[in-house]
Amino acid sequence: MNSTLNPIRILVVDDHTLFRRGLTALLSRDPQLDVIGDAADAGQAIRKAQELQPALILLDNHLPGVHGVDALPALREAAPKAVILMLTVSEDENDLAAALRGGAAGYLLKTIEGEALTSAILSAMQGDSVVSPEMMSKLVAAYRGATRTLSADTYADKPMGKVADVDPPEFVLNCLSPRELDVLRGIARGASNKEIARDHGIAETTVKIHVQHVLRKLDVSSRVHAAVIATEQGLL
């Protein structure tokens, strides 16, 4: 848990000077956050990341020269321990997929409110994947397409009947308690643990436990995959 004595050290990367300054001022209002530097392009960002070793990098995609998603490998090498969150205007499904494949911990739109941004940063630092709710349907669509391709490749060389041995999602959902179904709906909406806790009047730590149970029962390793199953089964 972060405190004012150990704030999250943040590097802001955006090519618009006014936006960088405004974002820095916004984040600096929260004692849990500390903007230690900024950069206007990928090259500067890599040098600053290596020099400052931030805990978190807020990265725009539309940078001059090298786009943010293309700079992800170099940034991760420059600051291996840093959590990287995309903060961009791009609602393009391909940018979203490329960012997550490249190791970004989340994908946020610049339309996000200040309080929600802070919440997303704190969630990401706790190991959660954070995606703007507006992008969740595109994320699910992209993941569903990738899963279908993978499934076709996975079972191509298997004897007939093996696919039927896998429990269908609708059967697995019956194993979830009513509260776990509520939590799964929240995951599918792109809500953070904190937001789910507030919606249902329960503790955030309780939500974390429910999330772990949901992932285990659905036999998936990510919130994204759980969201795909929830969407396909019409939980939203």
Tell me, what's the pLDDT at 164?
Answer: 33
The helix-helix angle for 178-189 and 223-232 (nearest 10°) equals 100
- Which backbone phi and psi does 42 adopt, to 5 degrees? -65, -40
Q: Would you give the end-to-end CA distance of the chain in angstroms? A: 32
CA distance 227 to 210: 14
**Averaged pLDDT, 155-169:** 37
Could you tell me if residue 123 is left (phi over 0), alpha (psi between -120 and 50 degrees) or otherwise beta? alpha
pLDDT class of 134 with cuts at 50, 70, 90: confident
Maximum average pLDDT range among 35-39, 65-69, 215-219: 35-39
3-state secondary structure of 33: strand
29 touches 5 (CB < 8 A): no
- Residues of the chain with pLDDT > 70, as a percent, come to 83
Worst-scoring range by mean pLDDT, 28-32, 212-216, 220-224? 220-224
pLDDT class of 174 with cuts at 50, 70, 90: confident
**Averaged pLDDT, 69-78:** 94
Residue 125 one-letter amino acid: M
CA distance 55 to 39: 15
CA distance 196 to 185: 9
Domains and CATH numbers, the chain: 8-131 (3.40.50.2300), 150-232 (1.10.10.10)
Give the count of beta carbons closer than 10 Å to the beta carbon of residue 147: 15
**Averaged pLDDT, 23-37:** 94
pLDDT class of 167 with cuts at 50, 70, 90: very low
Average pLDDT over all residues of the chain: 82
Task: Look at strands 130-131 and 8-13 and give their pairing.
Answer: unpaired
Nearest to 134 by CA among 116, 102, 100, 108: 108
